[in-house]
Structure 1
Amino acid sequence: MRASLEVGSYRQELRAAPGPAGREAERPPRGGAGRALPGAGRRAIQPQPSQATPNDAHSKPLALLLPAAGSATRMRGGDKLLEEVGGEPLLARQARAGLAAGLTVIVTLPALDHPRGATLAGLDVIRVPVPDAAEGMAASIRAGVAACPEEAEGLMILPADMPEIDAGDLATLAAGFAEDPARVLRATGEDGTPGHPVVFPRRLFAALAALKGDEGARSILKGEDVRLLALPGRHALTDLDTPEDWAAWRATRSG
């Protein structure tokens, strides 16, 4: 397996390219933390178990962004992305899941020499430093879009602090996106509650690259006819931000 690809800088200028269904899209160049926040959605897809297989997960290339440049201040000195899940740090687990699902994996980091980056050693992922990460989620999203391969038809954004998301979930979403790659696809809990990840088609890359501040992609989702796809249980809803969250989650799994 190849070593991680490090992207030391990225351009924010985008060049236009034809988008799906005759719409104009913005195609980012090669190069290169945040969370796609809630947006309205209609036409929900019924819950399905995570049965998609990695090799046939999608017919067009899809990239996965793991925003890991934030400071995780609510952990009060700890680092939620270094918490162990399944015997390895959460960030490494999520990156490995993306690779197993057949996705191009992009990980934003505070700096390439940050301890989080060390957990990715030996994994074929694109590591992107985000020097302006203090701005908020938008900085990582911009960096992730700029690092997307030119052939990517969409970008799946997965908050890296969601330990129940697995390779099967990611493959299921990739397969669902391939059915209608011009529309946003959002994961929900089994009960239909909107969650994460969210997959954005290429036609929205320019809008993602123009985001500012700590809002994430909420403003983009508001204007979209979002397709919903249910994942098992609370996979799409469980995110752990504090030591108490982690303790409670581990208690339910050990019980």
Structure 2
Amino acid sequence: MKNSKITGQTPQIHNRTTTGTTAMPQKKGSHSSPFGSVAAVVLAAGGARRYGEAKQLLNWNGQPFVHVIANTALEAGLSPVIVVTGAWHSEVSQAVANLPVEIIHNPHWQKGQSTSVKAGLRALPPQCGASIFLLADQPHIPSELLRSLVETHQKTNAPLIAPQVNGQLTNPVLFDKVTFPDFETITGDQGGRALFKRYPPLLIRWPEAIPNLDVDTPDDYQILLRHNDNGE
């Protein structure tokens, strides 16, 4: 989950019945299925050493990255929405203070992304049937894509579901609760990719252009802003 481009065992392909540009908007409300509710875990604990400042707080259409991402999860009906903080706990918490999210502070964030993933999963309620992991430097992910992941899970109960954009497997990824115990084995900067061998992902083709980009440097941020300005 750390990188936007994700590699792994050859996945299955699931064709969507609607596209992101034509799908009808849905009412807000928690998504649930016979398999339980679908949560969101926003990974916002990193120190952004390469960027040099808190990239979770960079501006995106007038709001901090982390606020936009958490709000997108809420708009998609994901519940609960867990925001895992670390390096800039106070600042990130303030950025989402007006949203109905649960904030979990990870004091071990310097030991790698795996600690934030585990902290987020441990905060989920027992009735949670799946979770989508969202990265704090990807504010451009649309709520329609999150809904599509949930709908595919409701139809298939696949253990792992990811979007395919321009032939590439990318974030965000939905993990069914059957995979949750496996996360206890990851360490350091490992994320969900460590589970791909055991759970080959089911792919949904997504027609909209989504940059395969993590904002690790100011140049990356400018690329993302240009993408947004151009409406690509």
Same fold flag (TM > 0.5): yes
Q: Does residue 75 of structure 1 match 2:51?
A: yes
Work out the CA distance in 1 between the residues paired with 2:208 and 2:26: 19
Select 1:168's aligned residue among 141, 144, 153. Answer: 144
Contact 2:67 2:96 in 1 (8 A): yes
Cα displacement string for residues 189-235 of structure 1 (whole angstroms, at most 9, x for unaligned residues): 1x220011111111111111332111212221112131001234332
Q: Does residue 253 of structure 1 match 2:228?
A: yes
Return closer, same or farther for 1:70/1:93 CA change in 2, 3 Å cut-off: same
Partner of 1:53: 26
Contact 1:66 1:158 in 2 (8 A): yes
Structure-to-structure mapping, 1:1-255, within 5 angstroms: 35=2, 38-46=7-15, 48-50=18-20, 51=23, 53-55=26-28, 58-59=32-33, 60-76=36-52, 78-103=53-78, 104-110=80-86, 113-189=89-165, 191-235=166-210, 237-255=212-230
Instruction: For structure 2, list consecutive stretches of 5 or more residues without a partner in the other structure.
Output: none
Q: Secondary structure at the match of 1:248?
A: helix
- How far did residue 94 of structure 1 move? 0.6
Identical aligned residues as a percent: 25
Contact 1:81 1:89 in 2 (8 A): yes
Work out the CA distance in 1 between the residues paired with 2:89 and 2:106: 12
Contact 2:87 2:109 in 1 (8 A): no
Q: What TM-score, normalized by structure 1, do the two folds share?
A: 0.79
State the one-letter code of the partner of 1:43: Q
Return closer, same or farther for 1:233/1:241 CA change in 2, 3 Å cut-off: farther
Aligned length: 220
Work out the CA distance in 2 between the residues paired with 1:182 and 1:45: 11
State the one-letter code of the partner of 2:8: G
Instruction: For structure 1, list consecutive stretches of 5 or more residues without a partner in the other structure.
Output: 1-33
Contact 1:163 1:238 in 2 (8 A): no
The root-mean-square deviation of aligned C-alpha atoms, in Å, is 2.2
Work out the CA distance in 1 between the residues paired with 2:89 and 2:200: 40
